[in-house]
Amino acid sequence: MTIELMRKKVAFYTLGCKLNFSETSTIARSFTDEGFDRVDFSEHADIYVINTCSVTENADKRFKTIVKQAQKTNPNAFVAAVGCYAQLKPQELADVNGVDLVLGATEKFKITDYINDLSKNDFGKVHSCEIEDADFYVGSYSIGDRTRAFLKVQDGCDYKCTYCTIPLARGISRSDTMNNVLKNAKEISSQNIKEIVLTGVNIGDYGKGEFGNKKHEHTFLDLVTELDKVEGIERLRISSIEPNLLKNETIDLVSKSRAFVPHFHIPLQSGSNEILKKMKRRYMRELYVDRVSKIKEVMPHACIGVDVIVGFPGETDAHFLESYNFLADLDISYLHVFTYSERDNTEAAHMDGVVPMNVRNKRSKMLRGLSVKKRRAYYESQLGSKRTVLFEGENKEGYIYGFTENYVKVKAPWNPELVNTLHQVELTKIDDDGLVRFDFVKELVL
């Protein structure tokens, strides 16, 4: 009994992408191995770990709010910051009141080595490497946090997009070994997790740096081919993949796959070739049209999500309308809209033609409105079809939610027996909240 009372508690908060979630989960397991009990971030803990993001200014600002939240719950708690923002601006985070430790890109996975005791520091201590030293790979996956697992297969990026800080925060492109990815996938599937989402910074670049060298031992196509053979995995989902790295062979494999689902998230960033050139993207919009057309040719029911940035320097009204009309005409399913924010040490931060913030916000609102229309049209196109739903684990105001294989979000009255189960359903109607109702076709599938 006394030993149990002495066990320390740790809580985690993750900002940003699926990759960050996979890494938080791996870091959390290292604490569990050291004898800590993991609790929710809203609960009293001895140490709070915040995994930071640097993609948008908003993620930067939220950090201070989250630190205050931790201090309010336990003023004496030890607070550590890790992740991309911690690598880019470690001293800035260390200077935030209440922060005790800041770890950079290579140090975050060894966090327990840096904690000798949990006494509060007068000043935040920083341990961060030069980003050139972030040249080794640490595998990660999330488990226990959600119905689906995020499996990291790649890290870093060799692209030089003029708006992006990720190469500065995560280093060069490097990949997990094929054997380790397959081992992690089997570990996940053995824990009754039905869906795995592949994640990384630039997963289409998989294979580069797999054994510490620049040449590709394997390709992304090799990876998805082998993962599709792993028994016990019911669903595999590709997260974001660059259009120039999404090859016809990969699209064809997904269309015939046992486990890969017909859902692609493909960054566009702008529908104007002139702006794409200024961004130093590695494709023109014509290639993007070709990728969407290929997917819809072999998988008409596929869901296609799009990332787009508004308000990039030099984006005139004409450029924006060109983007808007391009997206309106594309057979896509939804948009993730990002309002451009200046990031230190990026080429775009020094470009002429700064777009006023009120104009950026107006354009963002227009594209978000277009996204609502696109999603509604996509959902309507799926009514009457039979799909398989994986139900999530939360009771939200008396409803349980889930996603079909092609990423239609459905709702049903709360039933705990549905949690983490797959059912075949017929999609019947769209509710006022934009979510889809259904009728069960088959009872429990898996």
pLDDT of residue 216: 79
Residue 8: CA count within 13 A, CB half-sphere: 19
Q: How far apart are CA 181 and CA 226, in angstroms?
A: 10
First to last CA, the chain: 40
Q: Which two tokens stand for residue 251?
A: 């699209």
The answer to whether residues 174 and 206 belong to one domain is yes
The answer to whether residues 273 and 312 belong to one domain is yes
Q: How far apart are CA 330 and CA 78, in angstroms?
A: 49
pLDDT of residue 2: 37
The answer to whether residues 144 and 242 belong to one domain is yes
We report the CATH number of the domain holding residue 410 as: 2.40.50
Give percent of the chain with pLDDT exceeding 70.
95
pLDDT of residue 445: 56
Residue 34: CA count within 13 A, CB half-sphere: 19
The answer to whether residues 16 and 58 belong to one domain is yes
Is 367 a member of any domain? yes
Q: Helix 220-227 crosses helix 248-256 at what angle (to 10 degrees)?
A: 10
Is 290 a member of any domain? no
Cα-based distances in Å from 114 to 99, 187, 341: 14, 28, 33
Picking from 328, 350, 380, the residue at the C-terminal end of a domain is 380
39: burial class by Cβ within 10 Å (0-12, 13-18, 19+)?
middle
Q: How far apart are CA 84 and CA 125, in angstroms?
A: 17
The answer to whether residues 337 and 397 belong to one domain is no
We report the CATH number of the domain holding residue 118 as: 3.40.50.2300
The answer to whether residues 166 and 249 belong to one domain is yes
Is 314 a member of any domain? yes
We report the CATH number of the domain holding residue 174 as: 3.30.750.210
Residue 120 DSSP one-character state: P
Q: How far apart are CA 8 and CA 15, in angstroms?
A: 24
Q: What is the distance, to the nearest Å, from the Cα of residue 88 to the centroid of all Cα atoms in its chain?
A: 19
The answer to whether residues 23 and 138 belong to one domain is no
How much is the average pLDDT of 364-370? 98
pLDDT of residue 145: 60
Is 43 a member of any domain? yes
Q: Which helix (H) or strand (E) holds 12?
A: strand 9-14
Picking from 114, 129, 144, the residue at the C-terminal end of a domain is 129
The answer to whether residues 99 and 197 belong to one domain is no
pLDDT tens, 377-391? 999 999 999 999 999
* Cβ-proximal residues to 121 (8 Å cutoff; 6+ apart), any chain: 100, 101
pLDDT of residue 27: 95
We report the CATH number of the domain holding residue 356 as: 3.30.750.200
Backbone angles phi and psi of 68, in degrees to 5 = -60, -40
How much is the average pLDDT of 284-300? 98
pLDDT of residue 106: 84
The answer to whether residues 198 and 91 belong to one domain is no
Is 44 a member of any domain? yes
How much is the average pLDDT of 12-16? 93
Confidence of residue 284 (pLDDT cuts 50, 70, 90): very high
The answer to whether residues 200 and 108 belong to one domain is no
Is 285 a member of any domain? no
Angle at 47 between CA 131 and CA 83, to 5 degrees: 20
CB 272 within 8 A of CB 323: yes
Averaged confidence pLDDT in the chain: 92
143 by DSSP, 3-state: which? Answer: coil
Q: Where are the beta strands (DSSP E) in 68-178?
A: 78-83, 101-103, 125-127, 148-152, 154-155, 174-175
Strands 101-103 and 148-152: unpaired
Model confidence at 1: pLDDT above 50 = no
Q: Which helix (H) or strand (E) holds 331?
A: none
pLDDT of residue 60: 64
Is 306 a member of any domain? yes
Confidence of residue 268 (pLDDT cuts 50, 70, 90): very high
Is 68 a member of any domain? yes
Picking from 261, 292, 310, the residue at the C-terminal end of a domain is 261
How much is the average pLDDT of 107-112? 92
Q: How far apart are CA 7 and CA 5, in angstroms?
A: 6
The answer to whether residues 42 and 68 belong to one domain is yes
The answer to whether residues 18 and 118 belong to one domain is yes
- Split into its structural domains, the chain has a count of 4
Q: How far apart are CA 434 and CA 409, in angstroms?
A: 9
Confidence of residue 3 (pLDDT cuts 50, 70, 90): very low
Full residue range of the structural domain in which residue 7 is found: 2-129
Residues facing 148 on adjacent strands: 195
CA atoms 13, 392, 337, 140: torsion sign: positive
pLDDT of residue 4: 46
